Structure 1
C-alpha cells in the first residue's frame, strides 16, 4: 500500500498518463523512402493513391517518405518513364543522393527494371518488394483467356481509366497483362533484367484464403482458388512462390488489397501502416 503522503501524487500521475517522450521514436533512415504502387485502380478510390496513407504515416515517424502515382494500367517500360521523373523529383526535393524503394506488386518489377536497365543502381541502395510477381501471375493469363467480348470490355474500360486518372496518364492493359504472365516474366523479363550486385534486394510474400486460415476478400476468392491450384498459397493475385526474390524476409498474412490499406470487413485484419513502418525500421537498422 502506498504511503499516505505519496498516494495523491501517484494517483494523479496514473490519471494524467503523461510520459517524458509520449511520441513514438523517430525512425532514422539514412535515405528517403519511395513507396512504389502496383497495377490497378485502387488509387482512384482514395485521395492520394494506393500508398499515400502509409507514406504520411512514415512521415509522422520522421521518415522522408513519398508515394508518387504513375499510370495503373501500362507496361513496365511505359511506367518506368514516369517513375524516372517521379524519382528525380524526390532527389531534387530532398537533396538526397540515394533512395530506398519499397515496391508493392507490379511496382517491384518497375523498380527492378529501373535499377538493371536504366542505371538507377547508382541511386538505389535497397529495393524491398511486397507481393511482387517476380515469376508472373496466373491471374494475367486467366484474364487474357477470356472471351473476346469480355476481354474487349475490360481493355476499353481499363485503358480509359488509366489514361484519365492522371494528367500525364497513359494505358495499354492488353500488353501489360501479356508482360504479367508467368511465361513472359520467367522467360523474358527475368532473363533481360538481372539483379545488380550493388543493390540490396529484399522481399515479402503474402497469403490469405485457400491453403491458409486467413480470411480473404470475397472479390479475390475465385482468383485465389485458381492460383492455388497452379502455384499454391497466394494473396488473391500473387503466389508466395512468385513473390520470393533476393533475401526473403517472410510471409505476411494479408490479401492483395489489405497490403495497401484497402479494407474489407470480410477479410483478415491487417495494419498496413505498422507493416511499412517495420520495413522502414529494418532499413534504418541496416544504415539505409
Structure 2
C-alpha cells in the first residue's frame, strides 16, 4: 500500500521568500475527503514495465508537492491533497478484488481518521470500486464513497477477455496468453487469471462451472446506486491505428478489432443494450482493450486539455447519465462525445507518449473537490 499525504508545512519557503502563499500554484482545489486510486488488471507497482498511476518518469500522479520547490511530485495538486493507492490481486475476479479493495480502504480510513473517500478506478479497478462501495455501505451502515470515477472501465465487458478465454486447450492457454502481455506476475500467489478473464465478458462464460460470472450479473449485484456512492462518473478513452500503444497494437490489429460502436450481438437484437462487450468490432471506437459502448457509468465526463492554463474535467450534459448498466441507450453506446483520445494504457502512465498524466488526474481531482 502507498499512502501519500502532504504535510501542512507547504509554502514555508514561499513565505520566507515573499513568494505566493501555500497552494497558490496548484491548479486543483483540495478535496474534502481523500482520493483512493484503484488499479486495473495486472497492476499495482507497474504495468508492462511502467509505474502504474505514474507519468513516463515514474512520479505518482497523486503525490502533492509539500513546497513549491519540491520535485518528483504533482505541482497541479493542492499541497494538502491526500491520496492513497490501494493494492489488490493483479489477476482475480472483481468479487475478490472488490472485497480486497474495501478492506484496503477501510484500513486506510481508520488510519487517516476519515469517514468518507472518493475512488478513481482504472479499467477493472473501476469495476472493483462498485463492489467496494457496496461492501463499505453494508459494513459501516452509511454511504462511505462520495465520488466513484471510472476510467476506461469495461462495465459491459471486453472482447479481449473473451478472445483470451476462447484460446484452446483451456486454462493453461488463458494464463499463457495473459502472461504474454503482463509477464510472470500472472503466476504470483493469490492470482487466478482464468477468473479474472471470466469476469470481463458480458454474459456468463461457462454454464457448467457451477458459478455465474460476467459483467451482466455483476452489474445487477453492484448497480449505480446512491446507497453505495453519492456520485458515479466515467471517463471514456478511444484510440486507433498506429496511435495505439505498441503493447496493444499486435493484439488489436493482427488478432482482432475490438468492439466499440455499440451495436452489440450478445442478445442478438443490435439495440446497444444487453450483450455489449462481446461482439461487433469497430476499430475507430475503442482504446485497444475496451469499446466505448462498455465504458460509460453514471455521468459522462469531458476532459479538456488546455493549451494554456489548467486542464479541466466537466460533465458532458449532452449525454444522459447511465444508471442501468445493462441497458445503455444507443446514444450512450455510440457517441464519441467527450472521448479522451488516448489508448487504454496511456492514461495510467504507460508510455512513451505526450499525455500529461499529472495534470489529467489533477483536473479530475479538482472535479471531485467540487462535488465532495
Which TM-score band applies after superposition, normalised by the shorter structure?
Answer: 0.7 to 0.9
Cα separation, partners in 2 of 1:218 and 1:163, compared to 1, 3 Å: closer
Instruction: Work out which of the residue numbers 82, 85, 96 in structure 2 matches 1:64.
Output: 82
Q: Is this contact kept in 2: 1:31–1:99, CA < 8 A?
A: yes
* Structure whose alpha-carbon radius of gyration is higher: 1
CA distance in 1, matches of 2:166, 2:192: 17
Aligned residue number for residue 237 of structure 1: 289
Instruction: Work out which of the residue numbers 137, 145, 160 in structure 2 matches 1:124.
Output: 145
Q: State the Cα distance separating 1:71 from its structure 2 match.
A: 1.1
CA distance in 2, matches of 1:251, 1:182: 22
TM-score (structure 2 length as normaliser): 0.63
Q: State the Cα distance separating 1:279 from its structure 2 match.
A: 0.7
Gaps in structure 2 of 5+ consecutive residues: 1-17, 55-59, 64-72, 205-213, 261-279, 302-337
Question: What SS does structure 2 have at the residue aligned with 1:253?
Answer: coil
Cα separation, partners in 2 of 1:49 and 1:70, compared to 1, 3 Å: farther
Q: Is this contact kept in 1: 2:148–2:232, CA < 8 A?
A: yes
Instruction: Work out which of the residue numbers 252, 256, 271 in structure 1 matches 2:340.
Output: 252
Question: What SS does structure 2 have at the residue aligned with 1:51?
Answer: coil
Gaps in structure 1 of 5+ consecutive residues: 1-17
Cα separation, partners in 2 of 1:91 and 1:179, compared to 1, 3 Å: same
CA distance in 2, matches of 1:65, 1:44: 18
Cα separation, partners in 2 of 1:66 and 1:41, compared to 1, 3 Å: closer
Equivalence map 1:1-288=2 (5 Å): 20-21=20-21, 23-24=25-26, 27-41=29-43, 43-44=45-46, 50-51=52-53, 53-56=60-63, 57=73, 61=78, 62-116=80-134, 119=137, 122-148=143-169, 150-151=173-174, 153-154=176-177, 161-162=185-186, 164=188, 170-184=190-204, 185-198=214-227, 199-210=230-241, 215-225=243-253, 226-228=257-259, 230-232=280-282, 233-249=285-301, 250-264=338-352, 268-286=353-371, 288=372
Cα separation, partners in 2 of 1:188 and 1:216, compared to 1, 3 Å: same
CA distance in 1, matches of 2:125, 2:343: 17
- Bigger mean CA offset, 274-283 vs 55-64: 55-64
Question: What SS does structure 2 have at the residue aligned with 1:65?
Answer: strand
CA distance in 1, matches of 2:113, 2:49: 27
CA distance in 2, matches of 1:222, 1:160: 20
- Bigger mean CA offset, 247-256 vs 117-126: 117-126
TM-score (structure 1 length as normaliser): 0.79
More helix by share: 1
Q: Is this contact kept in 2: 1:141–1:181, CA < 8 A?
A: yes
Aligned residues: 260
- Bigger mean CA offset, 185-194 vs 108-117: 185-194
CA deviation map 1:89-110 (0-9, x unaligned): 2212221111001110101111
Q: State the Cα distance separating 1:283 from its structure 2 match.
A: 1.1
Q: Is this contact kept in 2: 1:135–1:243, CA < 8 A?
A: yes
CA distance in 2, matches of 1:183, 1:46: 28
CA distance in 2, matches of 1:47, 1:215: 19
Cα separation, partners in 2 of 1:218 and 1:138, compared to 1, 3 Å: same
Question: What SS does structure 1 have at the residue aligned with 2:339?
Answer: strand
CA distance in 2, matches of 1:65, 1:82: 18
Q: Is this contact kept in 2: 1:37–1:103, CA < 8 A?
A: yes
